[in-house]
Structure 1
């Protein structure tokens, strides 16, 4: 079972938060605010925050910009993961992934099922890695962002979490590019 190794020091990670919406502005962005609040409360830094429209090229462009920055270790997007024609966030993420973290979507669905029952099948939450940066696409509801952070991401981005966590392998995510 998982546990915290309190003998290890906490290592802060740098996040960027992307809200995908045709209608929201920062003042109305409750999901982005939930993520920023939880990231900072956990002891991490928010390096940047942005809102872009539900346009695949705008999403991929922003993801690639942050992937290329040295001050961003993780990108979390919220919104655009549903089933409608305008929901293209998952496709944008997958366009930039080098590797997909398949189990993230599975575990998110398990967490969601416990909260919203069979409605969880409508979520397409996803996670992946590109050029040494973690990327996660979450649904646009504040509840989904709370669930993803509280039940999965907060633990995985705590270096003290055992038996393993995302922080301990962060320095090795781009080792394939360094070998070229």
Structure 2
């Protein structure tokens, strides 16, 4: 089999497996969280938070999604190089978000505030890298300013974090929608020819 075809298949498989792991963790994880956890109100980061029962499920989802995206971006990086580089940073940021956890949601529980800050930094890198991938898809060599999927992704990367601040009761739902859109963007990136 031709090398570039093998690279494309590896990228597709890695991205798909990573997405399946993330989506599975988002669906299954809340069943193992404490009763105070509400998936509409609480984020996936809070689901994976320090000392949270079942946090390993969401952390595994973050890690799987990150590794899958990183492997995909590195495996097939000759085409749309800036998009792939941004997605590699996105994947590495997801792995970092899995390593360092959000502070616990339960009041009065001890928290490692440095770890919480490192998780926030990793999350910011993930969001910025996704916006960068969308922007590169629009403006970099081989991109298209008519790419509606990338325009929507860029808008989501800006609007949803702002909306999460304005609507705390729905921030978990909004974040999950943002993740699902990033999954769709990544699948499209590695499956289109």
Q: By percentage of residues, which structure has more helix?
A: 2
> TM-score by structure 1 length?
0.32
> TM-score by structure 2 length?
0.30
**Which one has a bigger Cα radius of gyration?**
2
Q: By percentage of residues, which structure has more strand?
A: 1
Where relative contact order (Cα < 8 A, 6+ residues apart) is larger, the structure is 1
